[in-house]
Amino acid sequence: MPYKKHNRYITDEQFSDGTTIDGSRIDTALGDVQGLVNSIPRGDLDNRYTQTQYVMGWSPAKLNVANQFDTSLPWVQAMNDDAQLATLTGGTPNPPDPYQNPQRAKGYATLGISPVAQESALGLINGAQYIWTTPIHFGSSVIVKSLEVFFMLDSVVSALNPYDNGYVFTTPPTGAPDTLSRDVTVGLIVDRPKAYGSEDRRLNQIAAVRSNFAIDSAIINHTVAAPTSDMFPTSYPGGDLKGKYFELEVNEPLPEDSRVRVCVAIPSYVSLPAVTSSWDPHPWLGQYYSVVLTVLEELEG
């Protein structure tokens, strides 16, 4: 039987057989009803929501002669370590002791790479993972409905079309079931620094995460037919629409003053000579990225 509020929720005055009825009690009851109607409690109203979609993305720049020393930004290594600190010419880094957050996220581990010993300038044989995070703050309570991530690729392979990641291993890491890449992690991480009074990543909550899946199975359906609309201009050098699509059905209510971090983690096997992959040597350059976060926000007023 569904929950039903007791009639004393409206007024403490009760009228039934065996009780007296007089003007004072009726006046008190009517006053209670008037007060309730004039100030309807929040829980007595159906919640109404409007759908908001936050769209973000990034297109990496192609390396050229004038830019031989590529930067991975906005992708940063999953581990904070001394090798990533910027230095002046002839200077040395001055690392903190210790790092407040040694790891930037949760739930991103992949086969063949230890998350506690990332690659560095010292030549450690380990590989690395790079994370792109985008924080969004919500002052009021919301419902996160879904997260969609697109890895877009060029269907024409040439020097002018750099987005050509094949998501396969030539030599997979030990323990891999086949040569297909299963090394991308897509997730939503929630923290509340205002409520917790801390930026400690160990207090973060994983609202949703998808990992250890065959990337090649997430293919976007595309056509190789002749372009027939302005969505497929014939002058586009990269060819027709192509790529990978990852979706997370979240449906997670978040309390007020929550900060959602959209996290995408990709691997780098440069420091693993026993592993060769289509991600190398600059994994962030293999595709361009689009993200859609769908949120239901309550109508107020």
Q: What angle do CA 223, 56, 189 make, to 5 degrees?
A: 115
pLDDT 10s digits, 22-39: 778 888 888 888 888 787
How confident is the prediction for the chain on average, in pLDDT?
80
Predicted confidence (pLDDT) at residue 123 exceeds the cutoff of 80? no
Lowest mean pLDDT among 12-21, 136-145, 195-204, 251-260: 12-21
What pLDDT score was predicted for residue 117? 63
Which residue in 134, 129, 59, 74 sits closest to 292, CA to CA? 134
24 versus 179: the higher-pLDDT residue is 179
Average pLDDT over residues 190-195: 82
Share above pLDDT 90 across residues of the chain, in percent, rounded to a whole number? 24
What pLDDT score was predicted for residue 121? 45
| Whole-prediction pTM | 0.76
Which pLDDT band, with edges at 50, 70 and 90, does 299 fall under? Answer: confident
What secondary structure does DSSP assign to 86-127, as a single string? ---TT------SS-S-SBS-SS--BTTB-TTS---TT--TT-
Which residue in 218, 187, 225, 230 sits closest to 205, CA to CA? 187
What pLDDT score was predicted for residue 182? 92
Which residue in 240, 196, 197, 246 sits closest to 219, CA to CA? 246
Predicted confidence (pLDDT) at residue 46 exceeds the cutoff of 80? no
pLDDT 10s digits, 128-143: 889 999 999 998 889 9
Average pLDDT over residues 89-108: 76
Predicted confidence (pLDDT) at residue 230 exceeds the cutoff of 70? no
Following CA atoms 124, 125, 126, 127 in sequence, which dihedral angle do they give, to the nearest 10 degrees?
90
What residues does each domain of the chain span?
49-298
pLDDT 10s digits, 147-156: 999 998 887 7
263 versus 113: the higher-pLDDT residue is 263
Most confident of 50-64, 66-80, 217-231: 50-64
Predicted confidence (pLDDT) at residue 1 exceeds the cutoff of 50? no
Element (H, E) at 152: strand 142-152
Which pLDDT band, with edges at 50, 70 and 90, does 64 fall under? Answer: low
What pLDDT score was predicted for residue 122? 47
Predicted confidence (pLDDT) at residue 118 exceeds the cutoff of 60? no
Which pLDDT band, with edges at 50, 70 and 90, does 187 fall under? Answer: very high
Query: Computed over its alpha carbons, how large is the radius of gyration of the chain?
Result: 27
Predicted confidence (pLDDT) at residue 119 exceeds the cutoff of 70? no
Predicted confidence (pLDDT) at residue 232 exceeds the cutoff of 60? no
Distance CA 50, CA 11 (A): 34
- Characterize 130-157 residue by residue with b for buried, 16 or more Cβ atoms within 10 angstroms of its Cβ, and e for exposed: bbbbbebebeeebbbbbbbbbbbbbbee
Strand ordering across the sheet containing 49-58? 49-58, 288-298, 142-152, 243-254
Please give, one letter per residue, the 3-state secondary structure of 233-275.
CCCCCCCCCCEEEEEEEEEEEECCCEEEEEEEEEEECCCCCCC
Beta strands 76-77; 185-191: pairing state: unpaired
